[in-house]
Structure formats: C-alpha cells, structure tokens
Amino acid sequence: MHHSQGPRHGARDYAKTPLNIYWEMTQACALACRHCRAEAMPEPHPNELSHEEGLAFLRQIPDFGEPLPHLILTGGDPLARKDLFEVIDEARRLGIGISITPAATEALTRDVLVKLKEHGVEGLGLSLDGSTAARHDAIRGVPGTFDRTMRALGWAKELEIPTQVNTLVAAQTAGDAPDVYELLKPFDIARWSLFFLISVGRGKVLEPLEPAQGEKLMRWIYDTSLESPFIVATTEAPSYRRVALERKRESGNAEETKRSGVTRGFGIRDGHGIMFVSNTGDICPAGFLPVTAGNVKSDRVIDIYRDSPLFQKLHDPTQFEGRCGVCEYHILCGGSRARAYGATGNPFAEDPFCPYEPAVKIQPVRT
Ligand code: SF4
C-alpha cells in the first residue's frame, strides 16, 4: 500500500488517524430543512444505535492513539438524542474532544449551551444559509430558524463557546455570501465555512454552482480570509486549496496563505482525515459520501479506517481517476470524493466541480 502523503499537521498521519469523526447520533429532528443531507424526520430510525451501542462505539476511538480524533456530534438534531449528556460525559472521560452541531429548534436555548459548555463541549457548529430571515428561511424551508440561529450566535459569543458557522452555497445563494460575511463579523466566531452544495438527500431542490462561478467565489473567499477576523474555509470544495495557492503565488506574499488559515485543512478530504458514522452505525468516508465500509456494531472503526479497501484507496490519491489522479495538487486537494460519487457513482472519479487541467503531471505540491 502506497502512502505518499506521510505525516502531516504535526504527528498526525491521516492515513492512520482521522482528524474528525462525525457521529450522526440520530436522524430525528423537529425541522425538515429542504436540503438536509440526513433527510431528517421527526422520529429516530428503528435501527438507531442504542445507548450501549453508542458508548461501545465511543470506547473504540482511543484505539487510534494520541492525538485522538475530535468527535463532532451531528444529526438530525443531536439535541433530540435523550442520552446526549451521558454520551458527552463518556467521551470526555475517554479524553475525546467534542463539538456539536445542533439544529435551530425550540430546544436550542441559552440553558442548553450553558450545560453543553459545563459538560466540556469545546465547539459549536451552526448553520446560517442566508443574510436575512427571508433568505435563510426560504432556503431551509422552515420559518423561524434564522432568528433562532442568530440568538444562538449571540449566546455562544456571550458564553465564549468557539463557534463554526456553516453556510451553504448554491447557484441561487452564492451572491449572498458577502452579506452573510458582514452579518457574522461582530460575533467573534472561530471559523466560517462555506459548504459547496452536493446534490444528495433533499439537496436536489437547489442547484450547485457552475465550476467557473465556483472559482470566482473561491477567489473571493481567499481574499476575504486575508482580512477576516475569523478563519474562512470551505467544505466539500478542496480545490479551494489550489485556488488559494494560485492566489498566493500571484501576490508573491509567502506569509499570506498561513495568515488566511487555509493551510490547516490541506490534505484532508472525505475518508482521509474524516470519517462518518451514521445513526445506524454505518461507517462511511463522509456524511456526503454514503458508501458503507462497515458498521460499528460488528467492526472496529480503526480497522475500517486503516485497512478497508474503500478507505485505503481514499488515502491514496495516486489511485484517483481522471485529472485528480495525475494532478500535482492531489495530495493537498484530491477533489471532493463525495461530489465525484454524487455525479458518477464512483467515489474515485475526478471532481467535476474543478475546472483545473493539470499542467505538470505528478510533481506533487507540498506545503
Ligand atoms: S484536478 Fe482534482 S486534485 Fe487537481 S485541483 Fe482539481 S479537484 Fe484538486
């Protein structure tokens, strides 16, 4: 097995240990947002991991060794999971750092945020898809979620909980990004990530950006990241790393990319630095790449992550197809495996969103 990328980000080798493990604790959610990846519904799935199965999964995570992966509790709505705080306490006991991405329901109160912080939750993720209630609520298809999200942002700032805001960008919404940025500026958030729509689940209502529009938006993201009070990043758009490097080269300022924070995500992509466990325990490379390599009820996550054929191939960009296989940026980028899968059914195909034609065949760019 060829692992050309080797250790990155200090001691962590993403072929051995993920940076983030996402656990979709439940598909239950009181909302039904139009583009929900989880196709959330009011009730839990009948085969949802039980309390004991959930704890047994958590107890596998220390197998990866130090530094342990960070656990991100997601859903559905993780606040809909009755044993949420017991799960958090067990993860903390095991030494695992935790973030949570609650849905903007009535359950998301200031008291809940206080309690999450008291139980040792280190980070909060909130979704904000538009700069006004009209825009955000129209995209989500659920009235009231903009106001609740803005209230939660205010509480998170007051309680000093490091917060990541995730903003969906699609053809219909990309023009609103500068206004969302202005709206977020006063909130002292840690990170703003623009999530480039992948058409799965209910996402098919919105249209993804055209590649040329995507490049334009990525250049704006990079320029904004240089002056922003918080880190500005992308989700499911790893080719942003190429755009950032091109932009840096144009400016001739070597320090710039470091200051922008963009290098922090270099090398991470679906199944490489990221692992996803579904509400029923299926082990997948990412939430938007629903190909199952095992299940936590019968498999060890460390075995699946390191040794399953699916993950092994995802760890090795020389095995990718089309332009992503021969691109000199493929160690840092490698393309969105989820988008390749969504477009072709093949998670190793080239990322159709990236318009780049590799100029130099296989002269890998390293940071
Ligand atoms: S061709 Fe693939 S690896 Fe190269 S920059 Fe584009 S998405 Fe990334």
Domain-by-domain residue ranges, the chain? 20-304
Ligand 1 in reach of 339 Cβ (< 6 A) = no
Residue 326 CA to ligand 1 centre (angstroms) = 9
Any ligand 1 atom below 6 A from CB of 336: no
What is the distance in A from the centroid of ligand 1 to the CA of 94?
37
Cα separation of 322 and 133, whole Å? 42
Q: Is the CB of 333 under 6 A from ligand 1?
A: yes
Q: How far is the CA of 316 from the centre of ligand 1 (A)?
A: 14
Say whether pLDDT at 40 is over 50: yes
Atom 1 of ligand 1: nearest residue by CA position: 324
The model's confidence at residue 265, banded by pLDDT at 50, 70 and 90, is confident
Order of all β-strands in the sheet with 294-295? 231-235, 191-196, 163-169, 123-127, 98-100, 70-75, 20-26, 274-277, 282-284, 294-295
- How do residues 336-364 score in pLDDT, each as one tens digit? 999 999 999 999 999 999 999 997 655 55
- pLDDT of 10 > 60? The answer is no
Amino acid at site 19: L
**Other CB atoms closer than 10 Å to residue 299's CB: what's the count?**
17
Residue whose Cα lies nearest atom 6 of ligand 1: it is: 354
Burial environment of residue 212 by CB neighbours within 10 A (0 to 12, 13 to 18, 19 or more): exposed
8 Å CB contact between 156 and 149: no
Fold observed for domain 20-304: TIM Barrel (3.20.20)
**Among 288, 255, 254, 259, residue whose Cα is nearest residue 271:** 288
211-253 pLDDT, tens per residue?
999 999 999 999 999 999 999 999 999 999 999 998 888 887 6
pLDDT at 257 over 70: no
This prediction has a pTM of 0.92
Asked if 322 contacts 357 with a C-beta cutoff of 8 angstroms, the reply is no
126: number of Cβ within 10 Å: 22
Summarised one tens digit per residue, pLDDT across range 110-148 is 999 999 999 999 999 999 999 999 999 888 888 889 999
Q: How far apart are CA 233 and CA 265, in angstroms?
A: 8
Ligand 1 pocket residue status of 320, Cβ below 6 Å: no
Question: Quick one: pLDDT at residue 142?
Answer: 82
Give whole-number Cα distances, 226 to 175, 214, 239, 298, in Å: 20, 19, 18, 46
Residue 308 CA to ligand 1 centre (angstroms): 24
Closest residue CA from atom 7 of ligand 1 = 335
Decide whether any atom of ligand 1 lies within 6 Å of the 334 Cβ. Answer: yes
* CA end-to-end distance (rounded Å), the chain: 23
Q: What percent of the chain has pLDDT over 90?
A: 77
The atom number, within ligand 1, closest to the CA of 334 reads 3
33 vs 58, more confident = 58
Ligand 1 and 327: CB distance under 6 A:
yes
| d(CA 319, ligand 1 centre) in Å | 13
